[in-house]
């Protein structure tokens, strides 16, 4: 896997050169999401001070042309994974590659406004107690999309791993300048690279899920805050209907949750969660899931049994 960067001109435009010392690195992780990624990249390209922005895309072995988006967008660096090794590993690849001190993790279905990044940078630098700054997600119609969760716990992991609706926190007063949240996810989050490096990057035992939970727990451990700034808004388009999760996906969530519980609550907490999930699968006669959890199966192709 070698990062490939194109700087050739296209059409009437001159060449797009990567900034010598970017202020912000925007990081996108994509898997067969080319149309959404095009919209996200085009929005980033319209950002103020574009010359200070580095755009990184990790393609998790897509088959829809995601890996060749740099042919259309010369200012984007695409890193092509040879297989789908899980979003956590992809995040680490991009984070280690990023040349800026400020990292903007962005979901493919999120489109920034031209002034989003500049305002987030200003807000983060003005708040000494804050580790990460997030804009408010809004629908294409302009309605708030509130996706903040409570601090990750065993109960939260159990509910989400069982396929339950995520227990989002109540929508706060959005007239405030900022709102402190525990666990905002990573749809749009600006953080300093040295913080992520200081936590030794994301724990790749998490597979596809829970890197954002790992970050939230590290922020709490460090006595810092994550803030959402309601007046800084980005458009979050709805995702297409999800297919029924495969056994590997369910097992990945459970195994990753067990890793986090063991990491932050002690070995027996993680082991108990994993054993409890195995028993639930056994009692419901879901033997494929039982053996998947037993073998630690994850979507990461290098870990799948």
Tens-digit pLDDT profile for residues 35-63: 999 999 999 999 999 999 999 999 998 88
Q: Is the pLDDT of residue 14 over 70?
A: no
Q: Is the pLDDT of residue 75 over 60?
A: yes
Per the prediction, the chain carries an average pLDDT of 90
Q: What is the pLDDT of residues 224-282, one digit of tens each?
A: 999 999 999 999 998 877 677 889 999 999 999 999 999 999 999 999 999 999 999 99
Q: Is the pLDDT of residue 105 over 70?
A: yes
Q: Is the pLDDT of residue 188 over 80?
A: yes
Give the integer Cα–Cα distance in Å for 152 and 150.
6
Q: Is the pLDDT of residue 129 over 60?
A: yes
Tell me what the mean pLDDT of segment 168-187 comes to. 96
What pLDDT score does 205 carry? 93
Give the integer Cα–Cα distance in Å for 79 and 61.
10
Q: Tell how strand 225-236 and strand 110-111 pair up.
A: antiparallel
Tell me what the mean pLDDT of segment 175-202 comes to. 97
122's enclosing H/E stretch is helix 116-126
User: Distances in Å between the alpha carbon of 120 and those of 116, 134, 211, 226, 259?
Assistant: 6, 7, 21, 12, 32
Tell me what the mean pLDDT of segment 206-221 comes to. 95
Domains and CATH numbers, the chain: 4-236 (3.90.550.10), 247-294 (no CATH)
Q: Is the pLDDT of residue 303 over 70?
A: no
What pLDDT score does 7 carry? 40
pLDDT band at residue 90 using 50, 70 and 90 as cut-offs: very high
Q: Is the pLDDT of residue 9 over 50?
A: no
What pLDDT score does 156 carry? 94
Q: Is 141 exposed, middle or buried (0-12, 13-18, 19+ CB in 10 A)?
A: exposed
Q: Is the pLDDT of residue 287 over 60?
A: yes
pLDDT band at residue 13 using 50, 70 and 90 as cut-offs: very low
pLDDT band at residue 305 using 50, 70 and 90 as cut-offs: very low
Q: Which residues of 252-279 are buried (b: 16+ CB within 10 A; e: fewer)?
A: bbbbbbbbbbbbbeeeebbebbbeebbe
Give the integer Cα–Cα distance in Å for 41 and 275.
42
What pLDDT score does 241 carry? 74
């Amino acid at each position: 896997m070698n990062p490939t960067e194109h700087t050739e001109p296209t059409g009437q435009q001159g060449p797009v050169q990567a900034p010598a010392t970017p202020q912000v690195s925007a990081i996108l992780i994509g898997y067969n999401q080319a149309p959404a990624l095009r919209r996200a990249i085009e929005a980033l390209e319209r950002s103020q001070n574009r010359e200070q922005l580095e755009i990184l895309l990790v393609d998790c072995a897509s088959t829809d042309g995601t890996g060749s988006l740099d042919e259309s967008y010369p200012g984007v660096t695409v890193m092509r994974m040879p297989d789908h090794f899980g979003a956590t590993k992809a995040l680490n690849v991009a984070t280690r590659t990023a040349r800026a001190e400020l990292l903007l993790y962005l979901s493919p279905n999120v489109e920034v406004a031209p002034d989003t990044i500049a305002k987030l940078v200003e807000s983060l630098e003005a708040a000494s107690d804050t580790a990460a700054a997030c804009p408010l997600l809004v629908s294409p119609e302009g309605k708030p999309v509130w996706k903040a969760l409570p601090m990750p716990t065993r109960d939260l992991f159990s509910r989400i791993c069982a396929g339950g609706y995520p227990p989002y926190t109540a929508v706060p007063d959005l007239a405030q300048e900022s709102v402190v949240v525990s666990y905002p996810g990573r749809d749009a989050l600006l953080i300093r690279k040295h913080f992520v490096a200081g936590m030794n990057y994301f724990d790749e035992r998490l597979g596809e899920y829970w890197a954002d939970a790992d970050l939230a727990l590290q922020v709490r451990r460090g006595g810092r805050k994550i803030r959402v700034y309601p007046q800084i808004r980005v458009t979050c388009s709805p995702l297409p209907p999800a297919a029924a999760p495969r056994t590997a996906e369910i097992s990945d969530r459970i195994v990753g949750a067990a890793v986090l519980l063991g990491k932050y609550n002690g070995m027996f907490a993680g082991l108990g969660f994993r054993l409890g999930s195995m028993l639930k699968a056994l009692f419901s006669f879901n033997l494929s899931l039982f053996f998947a959890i037993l073998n630690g199966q994850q979507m990461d192709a290098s870990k799948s049994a």
